[in-house]
Amino acid sequence: MNFRILAISLSGVLFAGSFSALACTNLIITKGASADQSVMITYAADSHTRYGAIAAFPAADHKPGDKCEVYHYENGRLMGSIPEAAHTYSVIQFMNEHQVAIGETTFGGLDSLGSQPGAVLDYGSLMRIGLQRSKTAREMIKVMTDLVARCGYATSGESFSISDANEAWIMEMIGKGRYEKGAVWVARLIPDGYVSGHANQARITTFPFQKRNNWNDPKQTVYHSPDVISFARKHGFYHGSDEAFSFSDVYNPLNFGGARFCDARVWSFFRKISKEIRDNQAYTNYAMGRFTRDERFPDQRLNPNGFVSNRLPLWVKPDSPVSLQQVMDGMRDHYEDTPLDMRNDLGAGPFGLPYRWRPLEYEVDSVMYFNERAIATQQTGYCFVAQSRNWLPDPVGGIFWFGVDDTDGCVYAPMYCGIKEIPESYAPGNGSMISWSETSAFWTFNQVNNWAYARYNLIHPEIKEYQDQLENRFISEVQVVDKQAEELFKQNPGSAADYLTAYSVSTGNQLVSDWKNFYHYLFMKYMDGNVKHSEERKLLDNGNGKDIPKSPAQPGYGKEWERTMIQGTGGRLKVPED
């Protein structure tokens, strides 16, 4: 097998892509809430200019005085350098060899805190460097917050999902702007057995203030900067009591967009797994941007600041354990079977398309309108489900399920966190947003998805069927691979790494080859508005052995849309009677 070895300088290569506003979704599943007792976090990197690829950073030893050059995650500009760690761990995109993983969503927050002169670290470089220096989620939080305190924070507000094989955390951080160096932040442990999520709106409200961060205390469930409240009060962002302080409401004040464009995505996943959310009209109202500001919150705490009182809880307990497949499907949501279902209005067109082309907001006759923003969206560059399992050695226990393009039409391929190479199909440099590659996973999946957008209700069911078949096969395969790799690891960790690398590389490359053939089949079957006959993804001929297809079906637009088309035509489309 001809593997392409990806050797990447720690200081010279960026994670692919750039960030756009109101993008990205993270779901967080704790060990006690998952069906197999794994910890899972998800990430959809949504941007109209982001190219989907897997960056790799090998482990390395460094000499005293070595420097780590820091490049801006979005624009590639050299920000400066910081002292290098004596040893850095290997990283596969957003998961390291110790099963520590991270995702993010940008919430922006107060404009005056959006930039910090002289700061070296933006959120993307902070994530990468944090992974290179951390063996646990708690250590990751400490590393990241220590770094921004020393080096400054060159980004607006961010929510981070941080996980390892035992715990999952949400951390929210915003820089201090031109006022001071560094950032204010809060991190909360998601209680075991619960599920959380965030989608470009800060989610941490009130929290138990700690006198000190005891990093060695496994019972501590909250960490925060010592000045998270005093900084806000000092600069006039907050005037209430410490007890009523809400990080989200102060540093990212809630508005209609924060609920409807952002938190509604979290609500849509929560309601799938929690009857409490499904049956509570107050939460549905919140997701639709209808706020209440009651004197008391639902838990009967007073609300002296008049904050929104019907907003989503930070975490919920699922009705039953959540499976890996449910998490993957959760990332494919378009508000199906909710009041926001994108299949049910005129924008879906004749073929039930649950997508709306940008811009997000638009003006008609001096009135502003908007398009729904669901979890699944056309502009996703890449997505992942990072799965950490504490019953296996770290290089075997961590699986980085990786997909490219729209989550609704991706296939999550298993990339073990201990691999030494990246499949050529997913490697940086194999194509870009402005250069084509026939072997690129990104362009292959984009071909299929963009073809499906044309006749979604006909083409997408075939994509879903094949997607399920492949992902279910991968899930079954990794159970066998786990056992073999665990045995190899006991004898020789290097042999286990080679075995896992061979499986991940061959699986990724074969998937892209299979998906390219799938595109050829779909294009031939649905070209010109017709639907050719097929069986098991093979087109049928007319029985004469000359590769001439049977007469294709011509389903047209459907009666409902035909009625829509003839409205207002004044009879222009009517066939006259004889």
d(CA 463, CA 409): 7
- Give the list of residues 6+ apart from residue 329 with CB closer than 8 angstroms, or none: none
Pairwise CA distance, residues 561 & 556, whole Å: 10
DSSP 332-363: T-S-TTSTT-TTSSGGGGGGT----PSPSEEE
Answer whether 141's CB lies under 8 Å from 210's CB.
Answer: no
CB contact at 8 A, 186 and 144: no
DSSP string, 280-325: -HHHHHHHTT-----SB-TTS-B-TT---SSPPPSEE--SSPBPHH
- Could you give the maximum distance between any two Cα atoms of the chain, in Å? 94
- What pLDDT is stored for residue 19 in this prediction? 35
pLDDT band (50, 70, 90) for residue 22: low
Does any domain span residue 373?
A: no
Residue 8 has pLDDT above 60, yes or no: no
**Both 187 and 74 in a single domain?**
yes
Q: Are residues 437 and 549 in the same domain?
A: no
Strands 183-189 and 195-198: unpaired
Question: How buried is residue 568: exposed, middle or buried, by Cβ count under 10 Å (0-12/13-18/19+)?
Answer: exposed
- Domain residues for the domain of 514 are 392-529
First to last CA, the chain: 70
Which pLDDT tens digit goes with each residue over 360-406? Answer: 999 999 999 999 999 999 999 999 999 999 999 999 999 999 999 99
Identify whether residues 493 and 551 lie together within a single domain.
no
Is 116 in the same domain as 134? yes
- 315-316 and 367-370 as β-strands: parallel, antiparallel, unpaired? unpaired
| Mean residue pLDDT across the chain | 94
Last residue of a domain, one of 333, 359, 380: 333
Identify the residue whose tokens are 């995702």. 103
pLDDT in tens, 407-426: 999 999 999 999 999 999 99
Q: Give yes or no for residue 12 having a pLDDT over 80.
A: no
Integer-rounded Cα radius of gyration of the chain: 25
pLDDT digits (tens, 9 = 90+) for 446-467: 999 999 999 999 999 999 999 9
pLDDT at 539 over 70: yes
* pTM of the full structure: 0.94
Task: Give the Cα separation of 131 and 237 in Å (integer).
Answer: 32
Which band of pLDDT confidence, cut at 50, 70 and 90, is reported for residue 1?
A: very low
Co-location of 104 and 236 in the same domain: yes
Q: Which two tokens stand for residue 573?
A: 């489309």
Check if the beta carbon of residue 109 is closer than 8 Å to that of residue 232: no
Give CA torsion, residues 92, 96, 101, 106, to 10 deg.
-60
Q: 154 with 74: CB under 8 angstroms?
A: no
pLDDT tens across 184-238, in order?
999 999 999 999 999 999 999 999 999 899 999 999 999 999 999 999 999 999 9
Structure tokens given for 397? 């226990």
SS3 139: helix
Better-predicted residue by pLDDT, 1 or 152: 152
Answer yes or no: do 43 and 159 share one domain: yes
Looking at the structure of the chain, the number of domains it has is 3
Q: Is there a domain that residue 364 lies in?
A: no
The model's confidence at residue 76, banded by pLDDT at 50, 70 and 90, is confident
| Whether the predicted pLDDT of 7 surpasses 50 | no
Q: Are 526 and 553 in contact (CB under 8 A)?
A: no
Q: How many CB atoms lie within 10 A of CB 434?
A: 7
Say whether both 265 and 117 belong to one domain. yes
Helix (H) or strand (E) holding 57: strand 56-57
Q: How far lies 129's CA from each of 135, 175, 205, 213, 395, in Å? A: 12, 18, 28, 21, 19
62, HSE (Cβ side, Cα atoms, 13 Å) = 20
β-strands 168-175, 157-163 pairing: antiparallel
User: What pLDDT, in 10s, does the model give residues 319-361?
Assistant: 999 999 999 999 999 999 999 999 999 999 999 999 999 999 9
Residue 573 lies in a domain: no
Q: Are residues 512 and 539 in the same domain?
A: no
In this structure, is residue 361 part of a structural domain? no
Task: Please check whether residues 501 and 468 belong to one and the same domain.
Answer: yes
| In a shared domain, residues 496 and 545 | no
Q: What are phi and psi of 107, to 5 degrees?
A: -105, -10
Residue 40 has pLDDT above 70, yes or no: yes
Q: What is the mean pLDDT of residues 495-522?
A: 98
Q: What's the token pair of residue 360? A: 């997000």
Asked if the structure places residue 305 within a domain, the reply is yes
In this structure, is residue 360 part of a structural domain? no
Q: Average pLDDT for residues 280-303, to the nearest whole number?
A: 96
Distance CA 29, CA 169 (A): 10
Structural domain contains residue 446: yes
Does the pLDDT at position 474 exceed 60? yes
Both 495 and 543 in a single domain? no
- Mean pLDDT, to the nearest integer, of 514-526? 98
Alpha helices in 6-156 (DSSP H): 123-132, 137-151
pLDDT higher than 80, residue 15: no
Do 517 and 550 lie in one domain? The reply is: no
CA distances from 55 to 31, 134, 307, 308, 424 (A): 27, 18, 41, 40, 11
Domain contains 7: no
Query: For position 75, what pLDDT does the model report?
Result: 83
* Rounded distance between C-alpha atoms, residue 497 and residue 422, angstroms: 13
pLDDT above 70 covers what percent of the chain?
96
Structural tokens at position 356: 């709306």
For CA atoms 473, 477, 478, 479, give the dihedral sign. Answer: positive
